[in-house]
Amino acid sequence: MSYEFLQLAVDERIATITINRPDKLNALNVDTVGELDRCMTDLADRADVGAIVITGAGRAFAAGADIGELAALTPAGAQAFAERGQRVLRRFETSRKPTIAAVNGFALGGGCELAMSCHVRVAAESAKLGQPEVKLGLSPGYGGTQRLPRLVGRGRALELLLTGDAVSAAEALRIGLVNVVVPAADVLSRSRAMAAAMLQQAPLALAACIAAVDVGLEYGLEAGLAVEATGFGVLASTADVKEGTSAFLAKRAPAFTGR
């Protein structure tokens, strides 16, 4: 599958998506969001892909939406624009395969929302993250008002949303917006190393962890506990559990197959 605004590489079961509009700081225009949708559809079904890393070309991860497109939207068009972007970003959030944002530079507006939709965020020391939509007379449209407080808490999220201020990578780490901060030259390799560590584990177990966390956060503790227990029971019947327990007892590395 070919793309105009993305580059896709697959190596050692890790898919690396690079948003490739460096002259526009990788702004998420309508066509780029559409390509992300197609790409996630492709990767969900690929047996040779077990984890997904997304990054940006040049000095930005993704610096928001395309302002020219935003300025031309009608109210109905703006709502549809937001709903479509939300659906695409949910694909990263609900992916059964781990998703990691390698935040190599500016992650603002829709770019910050894209990073937050991934399961884990690795940021370059030079990265800046924020939701500056209020500076344009807008509010976030791709999930920023929902994911930011879930990551950093209500008060800190509202401070960032209502001022539109960006934070440094170090501050993002301190408040829990990113997981790891590394030198810019290492952001992609560290992200891939994290993905590789995840791929050493049983694929069905990874998917069960993601599902249980998401249900618990969305619907509360009791619902999350129910999904956790169900997943635990289902996994107990898999070949991977037999392999994992046998390998542990034999003091050898397991060879998981996803069955």
Q: What are phi and psi of 56, to 5 degrees?
A: -125, 155
Q: How is 205-255 classified by DSSP, letter by letter? A: HHHHHHHHHHHHHHH-HHHHHHHHHHHHHHHTTSHHHHHHHHHHHHTS---
Q: Which of 133, 159, 171, 222 is catalytic?
A: 133
How many helices and strands, by DSSP H and E, does the chain display? 11, 10
Q: What are phi and psi of 138, to 5 degrees?
A: -115, 170
> If residue 77 lies in a helix (H) or strand (E), which one and from where to where?
helix 75-93
133 is catalytic: yes
The token duo for 111 is 């770019």
Helix, strand, coil share of the chain (percent; to 5): 55, 20, 30
Distance between CA 140 and CA 225 in Å, rounded?
A: 31
Closest-CA residue to 54 (of 89, 94, 103, 112): 103
SS3 string, 22-56, reads HHHCCCECHHHHHHHHHHHHHHHHCCCCCEEEEEE
In DSSP terms, 117 is beta-bridged to none
69 is catalytic: no
Say whether 177 sits in a helix, a strand or coil. Answer: coil
Say whether 146 sits in a helix, a strand or coil. Answer: helix
Catalytic positions: 113, 133
